[in-house]
A and B are shown apart, each in its own frame.
Chain A
Amino acid sequence: DQQVKQNSPSLSVQEGRISILNCDYTNSMFDYFLWYKKYPAEGPTFLISISSIKDKNEDGRFTVFLNKSAKHLSLHIVPSQPGDSAVYFCAASASGKLIFGTGTRLQVFP
């Protein structure tokens, strides 16, 4: 039972363009959502988060949007840079423990 889903396993974007990564969830009890970035052989690095009482949170080049009625969130990266190439995980919080999606591999090419 996959409560958090990232349906696109990979995404390829040109440098300078916008990257949009999507995530869907099924449990309406989730009250906090996070995005993590992961390089090979390293632990996930926290990027940005959003509370369920908000619909948008922005931090520099990263913006997370939450659509509670659709149980959908997205991460926008603009402009995309080659250093953004990594695997991105969305996660949802239920009483503190995180439930992760399966990740989307983003490749930003010159």
Chain B
Amino acid sequence: DTGVSQDPRHKITKRGQNVTFRCDPISEHNRLYWYRQTLGQGPEFLTYFQNEAQLEKSRLLSDRFSAERPKGSFSTLEIQRTEQGDSAMYLCASSLEINEQFFGPGTRLTVL
């Protein structure tokens, strides 16, 4: 399977703990995006990379959130000092063209 993969698929953590998610994009895709989806809403943009450069960050991405794409391949999204409001599905997408993004299965985070 050569689609976008995300790990883990599910994460349960206690409030105040740090969590890190990984995304592996489709291999030839140079753009990588992170979105967050909560119940009843569409995905909301968090940040995106072109190769290893982080080009845009949403105001939703507080200083507790950090994303990296060190070699322009896989990416990690870290949330420090998790809060209950961080509970959501975290989606990663990648693209070659500027518009058509292909999504991974997501990581569902539950903060207790």
Q: Number of contacts between A and B (CB, 8 Å)?
A: 60
Q: For A97, give its contact among B4, B41, B45, B91 (CB under 8 Å).
A: B45
Q: Mark B27-53, 1 if CB is under 8 A from A, else 0.
A: 000010101000011111100100000
Q: Given A102-B40, A103-B42, answer yes or no on A42-B106 (Cβ-Cβ < 8 Å).
A: yes
B102 contacts A by Cβ under 8 Å: yes
Chain A residues engaging chain B, CB cutoff 8 angstroms: 4, 32, 34, 36, 41-46, 49, 89, 91, 93, 95-103
Chain B residues engaging chain A, CB cutoff 8 angstroms: 4, 6, 31, 33, 35, 40-45, 48, 56, 91, 93, 95, 98-106, 108
Cβ contacts under 8 Å, B98 to chain A: 32, 93, 96
Q: Given A34-B99, A34-B100, A43-B4, answer yes or no on A97-B105 (Cβ-Cβ < 8 Å).
A: no
